[in-house]
Amino acid sequence: MTFTPFHQLFALAGLLALGYGTVVGAKAYRIGRDDPIPTYRLRHGGTCEVEGVAAVHEETVSAPFTGTDCLVCRWTVEEYQQSGKHSHWKTVDSGVWLRPFVLADDTGRVLVDPDGAEFSLGEDDTIRVDGGDAPPHRVQQFIDANDRVDDEDRELDLGVVTFSTGNDRRYVEERLDPGDGAYVFSHARANRRPGSGVEGVVAGPPADGTGSWLERLVGPGFLVSDTTEAGVVGRLRWKAVVPTLLGVGLVALGLTPLLQ
């Protein structure tokens, strides 16, 4: 059998999928190799891995579709699109709204500024709106204020009759709410404001280029989650399994002519 460009394409796609799965798996290993530390140990700063309960620092942010008061909200607008035999949910728009928050355990409290973090959040609310139907009031307010998301409640006027048109949509919120369990992997600096009630301030790692290129690649560098360390590791492992298996299959398919 001839080694065709299609076989080369399969092999290349498989290697890329394997590479992605390996990077995600390496992140899971890096997070899971050490246990979280008590927050009181962050009073002098340094690399931190802590878990506890999330609480309000100064203010919350209102989630765009449900109005829930939260600390972090990653939102997504997805539209169901059909093209011949192929149908899929396409992301129309997405974003992250957030506020600094406090993470507390039995030993103390740290202030977390999640700006620039990678997030591992579970899905909290999904509002599905069928094409041609009017969305809930708060979703409609979001659409009216967002130039990147058009109105799905459209009409086709044929003169004699009018049809409601539009694609089905999903409005998804993944949130970290006050009172949720929280996990943070990052870098902390000592708190220099006596009496503020926090042991340290957690933000992104210092931009000094420290660490090897491999350490910077596999990260996570700065990660905020609404679950425990074990929960984050489980999510990452599952996220690594699918591309790894897909990559193995594509590479095997691409190398078929060489194995015969």
Distances (CA, A) of 55 to 104, 184, 200, 254: 7, 13, 15, 51
CA–CA dist 130, 148 (Å, integer): 19
Strand partners, 118: 223
pLDDT tens digits, one per residue of 116-129: 899 999 989 999 99
pLDDT tens digits, one per residue of 55-82: 999 999 999 999 999 999 999 999 988 8
Reported confidence tier of residue 3, pLDDT bands at 50, 70, 90? low
Find the distance separating the first CA and the last CA of the chain, reported in whole Å: 8
Work out the average pLDDT over 127-136: 87
Domain count, the chain: 1
- Report cis status (omega within 30 of 0) of the bond before 38: no
For residue 42, the enclosing domain spans: 5-259
Q: Which residues contact 7 (CB under 8 A, 6 or more apart)?
A: 253, 254, 255, 256, 257
| pTM of the predicted model as reported, rounded to 2 decimal places | 0.80
Lowest mean pLDDT among 3-7, 107-111, 147-151: 3-7
The closest alpha carbon to 57, from 111, 115, 116, belongs to: 111
